[in-house]
Amino acid sequence: MPLPPHRLPGRPLAWGRHARTVLALSAALLALVLGAAGGPVGATEPARGTVVVTAADDGRLLNLRQGDKLRVVLADIAGTGYSWEIEHNDPKLLAPEEQRSEQEPQPTPQTTPQRAGAPNGQPVPGVVGGPMRVSFQFRVVGKGKGELRLRHWRTWEGPGSIDRRFKLALQVVG
């Protein structure tokens, strides 16, 4: 039985144009996935050396370099009396620089639901009870291992009012 022309003995398999394209796209996708999986926790802005972490990074180990900036961005709800606060920070590793709270952008009048008719009890942006972003920025000042902890609470009610915590294990190299 004769072999088809693309499988002659001693001759490599002849790939068609379509197969080469599929192989190239598969290789590019694999490189993209492996590259994303191997990176450090948090999004990095290399030009400024700022590492940004969110609630999704809670409990993770974060590798930093001396001189980097660390920005923690967490969600909050306006007007509840609760606020994010630094519970523990090693000042030999991190120097707090800034804390900022900002409400999410207000929707256009056509998309603003009535307060009483907010869908599924969701907060309405731009009003009391609307979503906010709270960010803490730190400068990495020293080498070593440590921990950063934030708590979400009503300060006047004390530790019994803590309803959420955020924690990062830190490892800083020179």
Provide the residue ranges of all domains of the chain, joining segments of one domain with +. Answer: 5-37, 43-105+126-173
pLDDT of residue 52: 96
Question: How would DSSP label each residue in the chain?
Answer: -PPPGGG-TTSPPPPPHHHHHHHHHHHHHHHHHHHHHTSPSSEEETTTTEEEEEGGGTT-EEEEETT-EEEEEEEEETTSS-EEEEEE--TTTEEEEEEEEEEPPPPPGGG---STT-GGGPPPTTSTT-EEEEEEEEEE---EEEEEEEEEE-GGG-GGG--EEEEEEEEEE-
pLDDT of residue 148: 98
Distance (Å, whole) CA 167 – CA 159: 17
pLDDT of residue 58: 97
Distance (Å, whole) CA 137 – CA 150: 12
Tallying the residues shown for the chain, one arrives at 174
pLDDT of residue 129: 72
Whether domain 43-105+126-173 has CATH 2.60.40.2020: the reply is yes
Full pLDDT tens readout for the chain, 174 residues: 555 555 545 544 454 555 455 445 455 444 444 444 334 444 444 435 899 999 999 999 999 999 999 999 999 998 899 999 999 999 999 999 999 998 876 555 555 455 555 555 555 555 567 899 999 999 999 999 999 999 999 999 999 999 999 999 999 998
